[in-house]
């Protein structure tokens, strides 16, 4: 699995670079010609053409003007924004606060009909209790030095959970057993959260699997990820938020989810693991 930048993002940047190269060739220009018309060094044009340096929106406008293709500038800028959006570090994503980051995902949740979520760190946000979410977001806010809008961010996440009960949606959640025993918010918060998991698992549109801790696992834990239908994967990493749309990579995550799901237990065995964590000394 990817741990920094996905090849989806790299492929999007390369595709944009190729379109700019094609514009240059269609206009009968060399890289040197393009650089002279834009007032750049030749090395800058070369880096953009090779996909080594992403162009800015102003670079794209200047490029299109030099090639006599001003009408294509906005479409290319949209492609740039798509490539940029595939990898967003947390500082950029949360610069306006945690509430906005929570609200930004709502349209994706509303249009998705099949959700698959795997978590090796925390209980997935969609099935967190309010106290658990509060504890988790407070920890993030303090660690990253963000503005304190935790209460508003918690309210936004709770509002987003309505999709669990609306429309014809299906949810498959997988959590590592260690998530059940991680001390987020203290014993009382964890007790309420574990009880909530048992309730959530009873919903007819929800599958909740727990991957047991075993010394002989054939598939080791991975970074947490969400699969939205078959169109998109989001991965939460230590350094940022990765969006994957490349079909081959989406398939890779879907296959990994299936492998982890095969290791998980469900129903009564899953409830037993949850209850065991619930009964463990706090």
> Which is more confidently placed, 34 or 89?
34
Predicted confidence at residue 86, as pLDDT, reads 78
Predicted confidence at residue 8, as pLDDT, reads 64
Tens digits of per-residue pLDDT, 217-258?
888 999 999 999 998 999 988 877 888 887 888 899 999 999
Predicted confidence at residue 143, as pLDDT, reads 87
Which backbone phi and psi does 115 adopt, to 5 degrees? -110, 135
Tens digits of per-residue pLDDT, 13-69?
888 899 999 999 999 999 999 999 999 999 999 999 998 888 988 999 999 999 999
Predicted confidence at residue 159, as pLDDT, reads 94
Residue 190's CB is within 10 A of a number of other CB atoms, namely: 24
pLDDT band at 104 (very low <50, low <70, confident <90, very high): confident
Predicted confidence at residue 5, as pLDDT, reads 52
Residue partners of 193: CB distance under 8 A and separation at least 6: 123, 128, 129, 131, 132, 184, 185
Question: Is the pLDDT at 4 greater than 50, yes or no?
Answer: no
CA atoms of 257 and 210, how far apart (whole Å): 12
Predicted confidence at residue 244, as pLDDT, reads 86
Predicted confidence at residue 2, as pLDDT, reads 44
Predicted confidence at residue 59, as pLDDT, reads 93
Tens digits of per-residue pLDDT, 156-181?
999 999 999 998 999 999 999 999 99
Question: Is the pLDDT at 6 greater than 70, yes or no?
Answer: no
Are the C-beta atoms of residues 224 and 235 closer than 8 Å to each other? Answer: yes
Predicted confidence at residue 33, as pLDDT, reads 94
Question: Is the pLDDT at 3 greater than 50, yes or no?
Answer: no
Chain CA centroid to CA 21, Å: 31
Predicted confidence at residue 281, as pLDDT, reads 66
Lowest mean pLDDT among 81-85, 95-99, 187-191, 197-201: 81-85
Tens digits of per-residue pLDDT, 179-225?
999 878 999 999 999 999 999 999 999 999 999 999 998 889 999 99
Q: For 145-149, what is the mean pLDDT? A: 89
Spatial CA neighbour of 35 closest among 26, 22, 17, 48: 48
Are the C-beta atoms of residues 274 and 191 closer than 8 Å to each other? Answer: no
Which backbone phi and psi does 119 adopt, to 5 degrees? -135, 130
pLDDT band at 7 (very low <50, low <70, confident <90, very high): low
88: β partners: 241
Predicted confidence at residue 254, as pLDDT, reads 97
Predicted confidence at residue 1, as pLDDT, reads 47
The reported pTM is 0.78
């Amino acid at each position: 699995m990817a741990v920094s930048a996905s090849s989806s993002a790299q492929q999007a940047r390369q595709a944009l670079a190729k379109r700019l190269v094609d514009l240059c060739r269609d206009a009968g220009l060399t890289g040197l010609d393009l650089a002279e018309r834009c007032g750049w060094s030749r090395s800058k044009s070369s880096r953009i053409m090779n996909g080594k340096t992403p162009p800015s929106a102003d670079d794209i406008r200047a490029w299109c003007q030099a090639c006599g293709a001003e009408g294509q500038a906005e479409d290319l800028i949209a492609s740039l924004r798509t490539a940029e959006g595939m990898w967003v570090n947390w500082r950029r994503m949360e610069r306006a606060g945690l509430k906005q980051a929570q609200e930004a995902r709502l349209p994706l949740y509303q249009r998705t009909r099949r959700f698959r979520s795997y978590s090796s760190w925390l209980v997935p946000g969609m099935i967190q209790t309010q106290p658990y979410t509060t504890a988790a977001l407070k920890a993030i806010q303090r660690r990253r030095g963000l503005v304190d809008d935790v209460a508003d961010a918690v309210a936004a996440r709770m509002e987003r959970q309505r999709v669990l009960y609306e429309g014809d949606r299906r949810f498959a959640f997988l959590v590592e057993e260690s998530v059940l025993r991680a001390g987020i918010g203290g014993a009382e918060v964890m007790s309420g959260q574990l009880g909530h998991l048992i309730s959530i698992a009873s919903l007819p549109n929800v599958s909740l699997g727990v991957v047991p801790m075993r010394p002989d696992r054939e598939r080791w834990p991975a970074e947490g990820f969400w699969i939205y239908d078959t169109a998109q994967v989001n991965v939460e990493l230590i350094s940022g938020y990765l969006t994957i749309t490349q079909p081959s990579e989406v398939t890779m995550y879907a296959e990994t989810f299936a492998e982890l799901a095969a290791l998980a237990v469900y129903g009564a065995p899953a409830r037993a693991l949850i209850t065991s964590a619930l009964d463990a000394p706090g």
